Amino acid sequence: MNLPNQASRQGSDVSATAPNREGMLNQFRSAFVMLGCMLVVILLVVLLPPDGNERADWLQFIGRFHPLVVHFPIALFLLVPILELVGRRDRFAYLRLSVNFVLGLATLGATAALILGWCLARSGGYSGRLITQHMWGGVVLSIICWVCWLMRTRQRELGTAYAVVLALGVALVTWTGYRGAQLSLGPNHLTEHMPPVLRTLLRVEPGRATAVTADPNTFYGARIQPILSARCITCHGEDKHKGSLRLDSYRALMRGGKDGPIIQAENTQASELFRRITLPASHDDFMPKGKQPLSAEQMKLIELWIAAGASETLAVNAVKNAPSGSAMAAEMTFHEVDPTTVTKLRSPIAALVSQLQEQFPNILDYDSRSSADLRLNGSILGSRFRDGDLEAFAPIAEQIVVADLSRTAITDHSAAIMARMKRLRVLRLMDTHLTDATLLRLDSLNQLESLDVYGTPITPTVLPAIAKLPRLSHFYAGQTGIQPGKSVPEDLVGKLVF
Amino acid sequence: MSHSKARSRTLTELEIRSGSAGEVAFEFLQARTRRHFLRSLGGGLGTLFLGTMASKFAPSVKAAGADTTALDFSRDASTPLSELPPQFPAKVRRVIYLHMAGAPSQLELFEHKPELKKLDGQDCPASFLAGKRFAFISGVPKLLASQYAFHQAGQSGQWISDRLPHLDKCVDDICFIKSMRTDQFNHAPAQLLVQTGNPRLGYPSFGSWVVYGLGTENQNLPGFIVLLSGGKTPDGGKQLWSSGFLPSVYQGVQCRSHGEPVLYLDNPPGVSRSLRRSMLDTIGEIDQQTYATFGNPETVTRIAQYEMAFRMQMDATDAMDIRKEPASVHARYGSKPGEATFANNCLVARRLAERGVRFIQLYHWGWDSHGADAKEALNLGFNDRCREVDQPTAALLSDLKSRGLLEDTLVVWGGEFGRTPMRENRGGQEMKYVGRDHNPGAFTIWLAGGGVKAGISHGETDEMGYEIVKDPVEIRDLHATMLYLLGFDHHKLNFRFQGLEQKLTSVKPARVVAEILA
């Protein structure tokens, strides 16, 4: 960057030949005024740091303009290196004339943003690692702006130092801006909605705000901390401690915030935490502020826990009448179907499956769009479906997980094929002519959960063999030779349905 | 100049004369919205840029804005009802929805409220009335205890009233949702909300969505069949089983409950099946030409409907003919062939479920127990309604269970809203008969079958059974849950219409009720 400073070259007859003390002073005055402002702010930052307490309306009102104002110096400052670099080409040399002006504006803006930022941090109830980093980033950045401006306007030759300081400033703008966005949008706002494909490519963990893990066998660990983690710690956690309160560990919870403890053991009414979460949402003290109130069950759990002594070690089942926890069931997440994976899974059988689908319309299909498992429904064809037809499905027998052959004309000759369907979960043979011979050959179906022989000539002879199927949970044996209650093996009790 | 004018005039006349071409053009314009314009603007420039860069990037560069995870529901035009696998492995393959039109009183059937009994006949507290709108209640009504005795039934010990002695035996298979809530308090919009996810006209019904998403197993029967048990058509009308903006081939087919199930299904005298076939072939050819010219998808629907009617001639008559069932079955259902009753329809429902019909919708009627006359009084007509549905519903459940069908069938029973714990006082007067007004704030629906916890109750109302105090379930939550059981993320079962990915659960966020899933 050893280029002559064009701005000063233009005014060379004034500043280069006759350095005038008065003029120098005038020139430096504005710089010193700005430096003064900055020093005041730095003094404020050091003496009156953000401490998590909320303060007067005026300060907060003004402070709220910080996110609005802060974007101007950012944009202006980032414009400077662009102007400098592009201006190096002769065609765009005129751009460099504007640099001083832009830098001056950026310095002014940075100082204003810094003052507003302090107002917001001091009055808005902020404290914690993020705010401190963001704040000092802003302070240093303002100084860098000022130094750049000083160098740009005072020096004739722009040395490497200027380039280095400018580059430092750009890096710091990025870092400080990111910290600020984390403050307002959440610590992982950038990666939160990253598509899974990119996520795996860049190895980004789907991070969440977490709390210190508590013992899951205690009532606190199993029932209370999950509520706090889900609803409270974005503002009262590691990164933000509004009201000087942290709720990410038992110790922090019991320590309380700026106004002292928030939990009085065995006294729900005197516990500030409980008072605030049960206020109407429109109340000034309501928590979580600006968000959905806790559910009735969550309130009940907290109430019961405080009433029981708010202990860290209380056993999970020691609290009577605690809501069952069924309502704490996880929200349903839906699996994304990745078409390429599914295509790959299906590739060994795809050709065969489509050929069979052509041959027997509507009776063979994939179990779902996300797998290569098949389901066979011969019952649609009724008595038109015979042993020979089932034979055609032999090559894909092991992919079939559900087979409905009810009301078909298959006979015991088909037992061999059915025995090859080793991954069957459900087998329906309702109203067929199959006999004990078939059922006695199904011992290879160790995945079978449901077997339906309603309305077949099956006899109790098969029961011991059926009882050995390891995963079987339902055996539908209505309208067969099997009668309720008679000679049922112990393993089948509760599984037989009539 | 004059030449082109004349030409444009003939064109307009042509367009007017050939209505369908105009319709297609009209629909095309309707479907194009500001969003399309803006998207093609940005997307167009973007793709131009990407097109030039494509060789440098990965081999497959998708058009800007294309949703790669959208599910494809397209099918061959000649088989619009062919089966499609669900999005992920599903617990439920078919639905039998028993809709009790008129909204049965949960306080006389499933909601045991001893506190309400203590306060019977007392003035309703003012807090119950503040900010509330009622269809008929005015002034200060009196609280009304349940008219019937309750007891605990089954191993699960769930409370049930003595009006349902048969269903009593099935409670261990049932999951009651006692905290259903709706935002509609008149029958037609409330029924529409339950059946189409929207209180206004023009949206596809639940059955239509399901058949659109999954097709149907048996191509010789409609995938979505509706049966009415005589009496009155539900207030929501045929719109309750319409396909809305989905292709009309997915609408519910209402079958007659007595006589021929579908009118004019038999060939007229002198017309043989082969003559019918060659007639349909010729009509099909003409329709294909029409489709080739104008591209209106409804032409294809028409061809498919003709073909289905042809196949149905054999199968529908057989499926609906309950005379083929033995006397013992009729005794259990209380069905009598030849009548239009809920009992007959329950038996038909079981036969249709066995034959692979995807969505079977039964409507019963007359549950609007205001007490304005004997027929709709809680102490009179209500008894008849209970008798009409109790035995066949229980028989249907136990039949499905013993045949192994209950494990992949979802049975739903319920109305469109609940009833008040206050006695109705139309015009501020005590009425001759006992009745309750509409209560959209709380009602009970029950589910039984695949993927649902059996023998539980979900949600709670207050001691009067008036408002929900725990785990409210919105209609859209119920829909999302049912679609989940059928193997769909409710966001993904959608259809592009008027610039939106329209879905059953509409635009408000819906939640799968994970607590009731087995």
pLDDT, tens digit (0-9, with 9 covering 90-100), for B85-130: 999 899 999 999 999 999 999 999 999 999 999 999 999 988 888 8
Starting at the earlier edge strand, list the strands of the sheet with A474-476.
Answer: A364-366, A374-377, A400-404, A426-428, A450-452, A474-476, A496-497
Write out chain A residues lying below 8 Å of B354, CB-based: 379, 406
Distance CA A4, CA A282 (A): 63
Residue corresponding to tokens 């003709």: B306
Name the minimum distance, in Å, from the CA of B512 to any CA of chain A: 6
Cβ <8 Å between B403 and A450? no
Q: Are B420 and B466 in contact (CB under 8 A)?
A: yes
Min CA distance, B490 vs chain A (Å)?
10
Condensed to tens digits (0 to 9), the pLDDT of residues A433-492 reads 999 999 999 999 999 999 999 999 999 999 999 999 999 999 999 999 998 876 788 888
The per-residue pLDDT of chain B, averaged, comes to 87
A53 has a pLDDT exceeding 90: no
**Which chain B residues have a beta carbon less than 8 Å from that of A369?**
71, 85-88
Q: Which of B72, B88, B505 to mutate to test the interface with A (most CBs of A within 10 A)?
A: B88
- Do the Cβ atoms of A368 and B86 come within 8 Å? yes
Under 8 Å between Cβ of A404 and A379: yes
Chain B residues within 8 A of A361 when measuring between CB atoms: 82, 219
Contacts of B42 (CB under 8 A, 6+ apart): B64, B65
The predicted pLDDT at position B2 comes to: 45
Beta bridge partners of B448: B174, B411
**What's the CA gap between B190 and B103, in Å, rounded?**
10
> Would you say residue A332 has pLDDT above 80?
no
CB-closest option in B89, B401, B407 to A368: B89
Does A454 contact B at CB distance below 8 Å? yes
Task: Tell me, yes or no, if A365 comes closer than 8 A to chain B by beta carbon.
Answer: yes
Mean pLDDT of A276-298: 84
User: Residue B12 pLDDT > 70, yes or no?
Assistant: no
Q: What is the pLDDT of residue B289?
A: 93
d(CA A128, CA A139): 17
pLDDT digits (tens, 9 = 90+) for B183-215: 998 999 999 999 999 999 999 999 999 999 999
Q: Does A367 touch chain B (CB under 8 A)?
A: yes
Minimal C-alpha gap between B514 and chain A (Å): 6
Provide the pLDDT confidence category of residue A233 given band limits of 50, 70 and 90.
Answer: confident
Interface confidence, given as ipTM, is 0.83
The Cα–Cα gap between B153 and B458 comes to: 17
The type of residue at B495 is F
Phi, psi of B474 (to 5 degrees): -80, 160
Q: Between helices A21-47 and A129-154, what is the axis angle to 10°?
A: 180
Residue A258: the pLDDT is 80
Given a contact cutoff of 8 angstroms between Cβ atoms, the answer to whether B393 and B166 are in contact is yes
Which residue has 């600006």 as its token pair?
A290
Alpha helices in B18-90 (DSSP H): 19-31, 34-53
The predicted structure's pLDDT at residue A206 = 53
Look at residue B59 in the predicted model and tell me its pLDDT: 40
Flag if B87 and A337 touch (Cβ within 8 Å). yes
Residue A269 neighbours by CB distance under 10 Å: 8
Q: Which residues of B touch A362 (CB under 8 A)?
A: 82-83, 217-219
CB of B78 within 8 Å of a chain A CB? The answer is no
Are B88 and A331 inside 8 Å of each other by CB? no
Q: How far is B492 from chain A (nearest CA, A)?
A: 10
**Token couple for A164:** 């280095």
List of residues 6+ apart from B4 with CB closer than 8 A: none
Q: What is the pLDDT of residues A289-320, one digit of tens each?
A: 877 888 888 888 898 889 888 888 887 777 76
A454 with B404: Cβ contact below 8 A: yes
Residue A369 to residue B71, Cβ atoms within 8 A:
yes
In B, minimum Cα distance to A331 occurs at B514
pLDDT tens, residue by residue, A56-93: 678 888 888 998 999 999 999 999 999 999 988 889 98
Q: Tell me, yes or no, if B489 comes closer than 8 A to chain A by beta carbon.
A: yes
Q: Does B402 touch chain A (CB under 8 A)?
A: yes
Tell me the C-alpha distance between A354 and A364, whole Å: 9
Q: Could you tell me if A368 lies within 8 Å of chain B, comparing CB atoms?
A: yes
Residues of A in contact with B219 (CB under 8 A): 361-362
**Residues B20-58 pLDDT 10s:** 555 666 677 777 777 777 776 666 666 666 555 554 444
CB contact under 8 A, A406 and B354: yes
Strand partners, A497: A476
User: CB-based contact (8 Å) between B307 and chain A?
Assistant: no
Q: Is A296 on the interface with B (CB under 8 A)?
A: yes
Please give the average per-residue pLDDT across B362-378, as a whole number.
94
A385 in B contact zone (CB under 8 Å): no
Beta-carbon neighbour count of residue B414 at 10 Å? Answer: 23
User: Which of B82, B90, B512 shows the shortest C-beta gap to A332?
Assistant: B512
Closest-CA distance, A230 to chain B, in angstroms, reads 17
Residues of A within 8 A of B514 (CB-CB) are 329-332
Cβ distance of A368 and B471 shorter than 8 Å: no
Phi-psi region of B364 (alpha: psi -120 to 50; beta: other; left: phi over 0): beta
Query: In the structure, what pLDDT confidence band is assigned to residue A338 with cuts at 50, 70 and 90?
Result: confident
B225 touches B255 (CB < 8 A): yes
> How many CB atoms lie under 10 A from the CB of residue A219?
25
- Smallest CA–CA separation between B388 and chain A, in Å? 25
Does residue B10 have a pLDDT over 70? no
Q: How open is the CA angle B363-B367-B371, to the nearest 5 degrees?
A: 160
Measure in Å the smallest separation between the Cα of A164 and chain B Cα atoms: 34
Residue range A115-165, pLDDT digits in tens? 899 888 888 777 778 888 899 999 999 999 988 888 888 876 777 888 899
Planar angle of CA B142, B143, B145, nearest 5 degrees: 135
* Residue from A333, A343, A387 nearest A366 by CA: A343
Q: What is the mean pLDDT of residues B469-483?
A: 95
The mean predicted confidence, pLDDT, of chain A is 83
Question: If pLDDT is split at 50, 70 and 90, which confidence band does B16 have?
Answer: very low
Give the 3-state secondary structure of residue B181: strand
- Per-residue tokens: A468: 């050995």
How close does chain B come to A335, measured CA to CA in Å? 8
The pTM assigned to this predicted structure is 0.67
CA A462 to chain centre: 52
Size of interface A-B (CB pairs under 8 A): 93
Of A326, A336, A365, the CB nearest to B515: A326
Q: Does A380 touch chain B (CB under 8 A)?
A: yes
Our CA-based measurement puts residue A250 at a distance from the nearest CA of chain B, in whole angstroms, of: 28
Nearest CB to B404: which of A330, A335, A452? Answer: A452
DSSP-assigned letter for residue B186: S
Tell me the two tokens of residue A482.
Answer: 């099997």
CA neighbor of B114 nearest in space, from B155, B142, B143: B143
In chain B, residues with a C-beta closer than 8 Å to the C-beta of A428 are: 404
CB A221 within 8 A of CB A214: yes
Distance of CA B46 to the CA centre of its chain: 42
Question: Among A336, A365, A452, whose Cβ lies nearest the Cβ of B83?
Answer: A365
B69 touches chain A (CB under 8 A): yes
